[in-house]
Amino acid sequence: MIELKGIAAASGISIGPAYKLGKEDLVVSKEAITWADIPVQIQLFEEALIKTRREIIELQKRISTDMGQEEALIFDAHLLVLEDRMLIEEVISRLKKDQLNVAFIFSEVLKKYISVFSQIEDEYLKERTADINDVGKRILRNLLGKEKIGLGDLKDKAIIVAHDLSPSDTVAMHTKKVAAFITDIGGKTSHTAIMAKSLEIPAVVGLEGITAQVNSGDILIVDGLTGIVIINPDEATLRAYQQKLENLKGIAEKFLAVKDLPAITKDGRTVVINANIEFPDEMSSVKLHGSQGIGLYRTEFFYMNRKDSPTEEEHYEAYKYVAEQMKPYSVVIRTLDLGGDKFLSQFKIPHEMQPFLGWRAIRFCLARPDIFKLQLRAILRASVHGNLKLMYPMISGIEELQQANRLLQEAKDELKQMNLEFNHDLKVGVMIEVPSAALTADILAKEADFFSIGTNDLIQYSLAVDRSNEKVAYLYEPTHPAVLRLIKNIIDAAHAANIKVAMCGEMAGEPSLALILLGLGLDEFSMPPQIIPELKYIIRAVDFKVAQKFAQEALQLSTGTEVEKLAQERLAEVLK
């Protein structure tokens, strides 16, 4: 039995067999062939290409039915790789020249392609490496006559063990055969971790070297709450975790019982508990968990994994759907936040040394009014179908907010000219996720309808800790006194200007921090849907006055560790 600790990324406990992804290392032997064998080898290659094409189309169909067309578009890029004449011709010409078996030739050509593409500076071309790798492995497996090894083929629920996960792997987890996943790299608020939460799959990331320690078939325990992973547990440990799992089920039922009740403290302070979504098809989970609205709709996932950009109509339809589904509750649409760790293949964003500090989010949108206004027009048009609001990401000062609002005004004028309807009173919020915005919140509050604190970024920028880097994850502390002071400053400035403050970073969904945030005066919490019942339960169990006292106590402490300890103790007192 081996016990390891990684970064808890998505809560829940899973016990089951390991399934190692991408590390099966297909062994390709090098075999000489004769001139006469060449037609047969070419035929094998063609059959492998056809079989691979069929598999991808099949997978695409399944994903399209299960998750929607948008997610299925990822596989268009894979199909394009299959049709790459250069790759196919190089294999055939080397086959004739070297007279070696086609599987070996293909694996050599594939290696060359991957190495060339991964060294290219251009982000668009660089991104193709993952597609080439994915498809190349499929072709190779078919050439070797092996069964395709992929998530789509999982027969029983298994725990995925991977170095990292590609977008297509993560999307394919929707098939529900994945019990949990663990990876070598990644941080708590990385893209993969956020996806795991929205798919409700327990996950532990940043387990450096885990892929070297686990074999497919090993029994694993994954505790997504503590970040503990146990390889081949002994009987006693297995029993202890099975018991813990049972207890968790009981606790979940207790929380679910309050999911449709208001989030009101014992002494009558009401807050709003909203959901974060990435895709419109999450609406059923949002409703199931008793959400009072959508506090963050991350629209950049709409642009991801496709070759073209979504049209204004596509944007409009998606926002209209979400608005209608949530009516009368509100839906906050966050405008395009690309850059940082989210790159889109359609827009040729230059490779930057510090992408999180570079041409990201609102900075990109202000420089590309064509792309930005298309989205703004769609949001405005959809606003007549429900209670929509919009917010801008990564605002660092008032001038950026004013510039964005000028473009919003232009978008409104364009719609007026076209006689298209929109809500003239659409509320416009600002995400506070850059320290300069947090420190000038009083200035921003004068021109914003509401704030939403993006702690995932606010923490990384204020503590200078890359949110997706496991090496510095120990420094990523939501409870750091600097973070608490910034949050207090934001809330106080907003309330002085009579506007509401929401929080949509992962910190808002940390049960142990709920009391402090409530006590600091936060008005709205937005989080992955499945945490909502627990948060409601906590809020309903406490007096606002008591939470205010906890918050004051927390503000007096000197370290994140002390705050964390206090938060855990106080939560236990309230829930006992």
Secondary element (H or E) of residue 213: helix 210-213
Residue 296 binds what, of ligand PEP, Mg ion, none (CB under 5 to 8 Å, by partner type)?
ligand PEP
DSSP 3-state of 290? coil
- For residue 467, the number of C-alpha atoms closer than 13 Å in the C-beta half-sphere is 28
CB of 449 to ligand PEP, least distance (A): 18
CB of 337 to ligand PEP, least distance (A): 6
DSSP 3-state of 298? strand
- For residue 90, the number of C-alpha atoms closer than 13 Å in the C-beta half-sphere is 15
Q: Which of 78, 315, 365, 504 is catalytic?
A: 504
Q: Which is nearer to Mg ion, 14 or 460 (CB)?
A: 460
CB of 299 to ligand PEP, least distance (A): 10
Q: Which is nearer to Mg ion, 337 or 564 (CB)?
A: 337
C-alpha separations of 524 from 143, 149, 292 in Å: 55, 44, 10
Q: Which is nearer to ligand PEP, 224 or 454 (CB)?
A: 454
454 forms part of the interface with Mg ion (CB under 5 A):
yes
State how beta strands 387-392 and 7-10 pair.
Answer: unpaired
CB of 508 to ligand PEP, least distance (A): 9
Window contacting Mg ion (CB under 5 A); options: 125-133, 348-356, 447-455, 495-503: 447-455
CB of 456 to ligand PEP, least distance (A): 3
Q: Which residues bind ligand PEP (CB under 6 A)?
A: 296, 298, 337, 433, 454-457, 504-505
Cβ burial of 489 (10 Å; 0-12, 13-18, 19+) is middle
457 forms part of the interface with Mg ion (CB under 5 A):
yes
Q: How far apart are CA 539 and CA 178, in angstroms?
A: 32
Cβ burial of 562 (10 Å; 0-12, 13-18, 19+) is middle
CB of 484 to ligand PEP, least distance (A): 16
φ/ψ of 123, rounded to 5, equals -60, -40
Q: Which is nearer to Mg ion, 366 or 557 (CB)?
A: 366
Residue 455 binds what, of ligand PEP, Mg ion, none (CB under 5 to 8 Å, by partner type)?
ligand PEP
CB of 458 to ligand PEP, least distance (A): 7
Q: How far apart are CA 394 and CA 433, in angstroms?
A: 6
H-state helical runs in 497-559: 514-520, 532-540, 544-556
C-alpha separations of 495 from 57, 331, 389, 401, 499 in Å: 53, 22, 19, 19, 6
CB 378 within 8 A of CB 315: yes
Q: How far apart are CA 529 and CA 560, in angstroms?
A: 27
State how beta strands 203-205 and 270-277 pair.
Answer: unpaired
Residue 504 binds what, of Mg ion, ligand PEP, none (CB under 5 to 8 Å, by partner type)?
ligand PEP
Residue 280 binds what, of ligand PEP, Mg ion, none (CB under 5 to 8 Å, by partner type)?
none
CB of 248 to Mg ion, least distance (A): 30
Number of residues that bind Mg ion (CB under 5 A): 3
Q: Which is nearer to ligand PEP, 107 or 456 (CB)?
A: 456
Nearest to 323 by CA among 283, 350, 285, 284: 283
Window contacting Mg ion (CB under 5 A); options: 140-148, 231-239, 455-463, 467-475: 455-463
Q: Which of 78, 174, 191, 480 is catalytic?
A: 191
> Does the active-site annotation cover 191?
yes
CB 203 within 8 A of CB 7: no
Q: Which is nearer to Mg ion, 457 or 564 (CB)?
A: 457
Nearest to 300 by CA among 332, 343, 356, 330: 343
CB 314 within 8 A of CB 303: no
CB of 282 to ligand PEP, least distance (A): 15
State how beta strands 270-277 and 263-264 pair.
Answer: antiparallel
Nearest to 490 by CA among 482, 475, 501, 477: 501
Q: How far apart are CA 252 and CA 11, in angstroms?
A: 12
Chain center to CA of 323: 22
Q: Which is nearer to Mg ion, 160 or 331 (CB)?
A: 331
Q: Which is nearer to Mg ion, 457 or 524 (CB)?
A: 457
CB 243 within 8 A of CB 251: no
466 forms part of the interface with Mg ion (CB under 5 A):
no
Residue 427 binds what, of Mg ion, ligand PEP, none (CB under 5 to 8 Å, by partner type)?
none
CB of 76 to ligand PEP, least distance (A): 25
Nearest to 432 by CA among 322, 334, 294: 334
Q: Which is nearer to Mg ion, 400 or 457 (CB)?
A: 457
Residue 510 binds what, of ligand PEP, Mg ion, none (CB under 5 to 8 Å, by partner type)?
none
187 forms part of the interface with Mg ion (CB under 5 A):
no
Tokens for 223, please give them: 């505790």
310 forms part of the interface with Mg ion (CB under 5 A):
no
Q: Which is nearer to ligand PEP, 269 or 298 (CB)?
A: 298
State the residues that interact with Mg ion by CB under 5 A: 433, 454, 457
Catalytic residues: 191, 504
